[in-house]
Amino acid sequence: MIVAITVIFWLSAAAILYTHFGYPLALRALVALQRRPTLSPATWEEPPRVSLIVAAFDEEEVIAAKVANALALEYPRERLELIVASDGSTDATAERARAAGADLVLELPRAGKVAAQNAAAERATGEILAFSDANSVWAADALRHLIEPFADRAVGYACGQVRFLDQGGDNVEGSYWRYEMRVREFESGLAGITAGNGAIYAVRRDDYVPLPPAGSHDLSFPFLLAKRGRRSLYLPWARAEEKLVPSLAGELARKRRMMVGIWDIVVGEGMLRPRGYRPLYAFEIFSHRLLRYASPFLHLVALGANVALLGQGWIYLVTLAAQLALLLAALLGRVLPLAPLRIARYYVQTTAAIALGIWDRLRQGAPVGAWEKPEGTR
């Protein structure tokens, strides 16, 4: 019995450390070993027609500025179609989008962000479908950079770099995001990214997949397209900015809402099923997605097994002390504004958000598509 518990403890601890620390190092080494270019150097003979889609719910505060930002992009105006899909907005979102110059404004019944994006994609005329949040501000050259790799038919999806503007709260998401973007840069250079971001991304029209309400373009498109033999890339030179959620409590609530659909994406949409993945992409999905989503449960297993192993050697006193120190640091991070404590609090809360989101899914059923704007991001 003790042998089994020992194996369970060390496997759980190793999986946690690997997904957060070992995986990025392994990625970097594999990218360095790759000696041949992974993409064709093809370029567009002329700029493709692009439909830029902004799904919006009650965004009257920012929608006019978003339309103005889109129309000011360094891209031929005659090749750009701007679509605002209003998801049952109860304010002046649609009217202000029209007045600001959007080419097409869809006033849709409230069905959720993904449903609004599906409706807009169906009406779009572009060869490339680009997507953005209503509160995202794109750099002038962002769209031009974003669509460049689609000249290679192997590319189905690309996302840019979103920079979060720190508003002086206690949220350290910006620090984590820089780490995450570095990991995605390595993935992009190896077999393709395993997740995108909602602020700035594009998909080839022929590769667009209408998703159910529980789906997420950020998490679903990269792996679904990988099963079709398409690459998903991260382009750090295609830049956008968004305001950071000011409070860590707000960030926890946002991540908890995001994680409600994770069961449907992993199990229902087939992220968990390896069929269709190339070996290196399967390695990325397992290391970056599946182990990361399993982290809260791995932590619980490691803690329980560690307690059961007390008395089996001094090493288990050390490992238990390390786990308890992480939890204590997270608690102290609520009252002491020290960077290490805030990072510990962020890690514990965001890891807990995965479990809480799955719990919400089990209690409430599959999400029906409702969405909320995090406070302070407009």
Residue 317 CA to residue 312 CA, distance in Å, equals: 9
Q: Domain holding 58: CATH number?
A: 3.90.550.10
Q: Using 50, 70 and 90 to split pLDDT, how confident is the model at 41?
A: low
Classified as helix, coil or strand, 372 is coil
User: In the predicted model, what is the mean pLDDT of the chain?
Assistant: 90
- Going by C-alpha positions, the residue among 33, 20, 24, 37 that lies closest to residue 182 is 24
Classified as helix, coil or strand, 78 is helix
pLDDT tens track for 51-72: 999 999 999 999 999 999 999 9
Residue 131 CA to residue 122 CA, distance in Å, equals: 14
Domain ranges, residue 325: 1-378
- Return the DSSP state at 266: I
- Give backbone dihedrals phi and psi of 371, rounded to 5 degrees, phi first: -140, 155
Classified as helix, coil or strand, 188 is helix
How many domains does the chain divide into? 1
Residue 121 has pLDDT above 90, yes or no: yes
At 331, list the tokens: 């608690």
Residue 258 CA to residue 357 CA, distance in Å, equals: 7
Average confidence (pLDDT) over 268-287 = 94
User: How confident is the model at residue 23, as a pLDDT?
Assistant: 97
End-to-end CA distance of the chain: 55
Residue 158 has pLDDT above 70, yes or no: yes
Alpha helix locations (H) across the chain? 2-17, 23-33, 63-71, 93-100, 113-123, 142-147, 173-190, 217-226, 248-259, 262-263, 279-284, 291-293, 295-308, 314-332, 339-364
Q: Looking at this protein, which amino acid is placed at residue 68? A: A
pLDDT tens track for 202-236: 999 999 999 998 889 999 999 999 999 999 999 99
Per the DSSP assignment, residues forming a β-bridge with 202 are 130, 158
Task: State the pTM of this model.
Answer: 0.89
